[in-house]
Chain A
Amino acid sequence: MGFDPKNPLKDRITDIGPRDYKEFLPPVIKENWGKWLYHEILEPGVLMHVSETGAKVYTVRVGGSRLMSVTHIREICDIADKHCGGKLRFTTRNNIEFMVDDESKLKPLMKDLEKREFAGGSKKFPRGGTGSGLTNIVHTQGWIHCHTPAIDASGIVKAVMDELYDEFQNMRFPAHVRISLACCLNMCGAVHCSDIAILGVHRKPPIIDHENLPNMCEIPMTIAACPTGAIRPATVDGKKSVTVNKERCMFCGNCYTMCPSMPLADEEGSGVALLVGGKISNRITQPKFSKLVVPFLPNEPPRWPQTVDAIKKILYAYVEDAKKYERLGDWAERIGWERFFEKTGLPFTDHLIDDYRFAYTTWRTSTQFKF
């Protein structure tokens, strides 16, 4: 039955949830479910899992741009039909994995994936993203779709991955490096817990549209949205509105999320901040939050050269200096953050010193430091 707008509740199906994942498993996965003995990374982007029954499954991981057309999905389906019995999966970092159950099927699949390119020359399905290398960048909407971003997402991700493309196809880092991006400090995704995080920040307070604010915003919600208590109710030209204490505003943009009459994005004011040293695994050390190391870099579409440059500086200082298995945050903590800034060549400024509420614990209460 087609949807009838005159009777929207007729034939309505609801609350059926997602499809059961078992419906889509390749036969070899289904048969060996819960029986895997060990796995090997045969080469960058290729994994082999061996079951206690002796069955093997070969996985080829290829990069995905995350934002993709139906045409592209259909091409992915064509590849899966041709080589993998119509089955495939996406990873939690939006890579694509094709699985085959026999080594003889592996080479043709890899060859097929390799030769596919977009008209502009970009690889459609670059193989990689395994082991101690670089994998996909978890990112957000940016200027494609969101209304609160300070930076773009897809554009910066493409610029960074182009520059670090070799690392996606290799495994020569001390440990795996997770880069992620969020276009405002809502931090949708993983920036607060990534080895290197790209974050959109503002540097100017919101501009208040007093004319429309009373009709578009719930004033108490707007006031409560401010983490520093900078917003107060006010009467402007006889209308209820708010004022912002600019001295207290740190440009988080929370008020704009709650109130459309307080926009703050600005061509010069908004840009990129870089955070490093986060992780979520419990391997050796506990999970960590990433820490701010570059307070601001300007928006430079379409290639963001300064941002890309700073990321490369941080990444290769780490790769050169860290011990095996050491994540970026583990390395920085072992050598001390003053050495981190020395080795990466990044300037340390007062912006990096925490001053939010109980910031005291982040200061040094010790004489232990290196000159």
Chain B
Amino acid sequence: MPTINLAGKTYEVDEDGFLQELDKWSEDFASAYAKEEGIDGALTDEHWKVINYLRDYYAKFGIAPMIRKLCKETGFDLKKIYELFPSGPAKGACKLAGLAKPTGCV
């Protein structure tokens, strides 16, 4: 399985770069990974608001939230989410938040 080196630590990821051991996630992981996902500079409070919401929801319910839920709870519309995470809520935000890779006919 491929690994990725971020801020001096090694993480196991799949071929799309999703974290394979979800309990290894840390804020450093997200911060260091942001550059790979086309996010300029450091993660802002708005980025963290999305990431923290995703992590809380996943911890509580065991699934990633629906897009509409994410937009409603964070107060960001989808356009804003794409501005924050250029590769989108699933491939961008969920990846940084250390959630399982989205499945189904994507």
- Cβ contact within 8 Å between A8 and B103: no
Per-residue B-contact encoding for A210-245, CB less than 8 Å = 1, 0 else: 001011111111000000000000000000100000
Per-residue A-contact encoding for B90-106, CB less than 8 Å = 1, 0 else: 00000000001101110
- Cβ contact within 8 Å between B103 and A215: no
- Cβ contact within 8 Å between A260 and B103: yes
- Cβ contact within 8 Å between A218 and B64: yes
A257-B21 contact in complex given A8-B38, A9-B38, A220-B62, C-beta closer than 8 Å:
no
Number of A-B residue pairs, CB cutoff 8 Å, is 36
Q: Which residue of A lies closest to B21 (CB)?
A: A215
Cα separation A220 to B100 with both chains bound (whole Å): 13
Cα separation A260 to B38 with both chains bound (whole Å): 27
A217-B86 contact in complex given A8-B38, A9-B38, C-beta closer than 8 Å:
no
Any A CB within 8 A of the CB of B59: no
- Cβ contact within 8 Å between B100 and A215: yes
- Cβ contact within 8 Å between B22 and A257: no
Contacts of A260 in B (CB 8 A): 103
How close is A120's CB to chain B, nearest CB, in angstroms? 34
Contacts of B38 in A (CB 8 A): 8-9
Any B CB within 8 A of the CB of A94: no
By size class, the interface of chain A is: 10 to 19
- Cβ contact within 8 Å between B20 and A215: yes
- Cβ contact within 8 Å between B103 and A221: yes
Contacts of A9 in B (CB 8 A): 38, 86
Any B CB within 8 A of the CB of A65: no
Residues of chain A from 2 to 55 with CB closer than 8 A to chain B in the complex? 8-9
How close is A266's CB to chain B, nearest CB, in angstroms? 21
Contacts of A8 in B (CB 8 A): 38, 86
- Cβ contact within 8 Å between A215 and B22: yes
Cα separation A342 to B106 with both chains bound (whole Å): 44
Any B CB within 8 A of the CB of A197: no
Any B CB within 8 A of the CB of A186: yes
A257-B105 contact in complex given A218-B64, A219-B62, C-beta closer than 8 Å:
yes
Per-residue A-contact encoding for B1-44, CB less than 8 Å = 1, 0 else: 00000000000000000001110000000000000001000000
Any B CB within 8 A of the CB of A161: no
Contacts of B103 in A (CB 8 A): 217-218, 221, 257-260
Residues of chain A from 177 to 236 with CB closer than 8 A to chain B in the complex? 186, 212, 214-221
Contacts of A259 in B (CB 8 A): 103
Please give 4 more A-B residue pairs, beta carbons under 8 A apart, in addition to A8-B38, A215-B100, A216-B20. A9-B86, A217-B103, A240-B62, A260-B103
Q: Which 8 pairs of residues, A with B, have the shortest CB-CB distance?
A: A218-B63, A8-B38, A258-B103, A220-B63, A220-B62, A219-B62, A215-B22, A221-B63
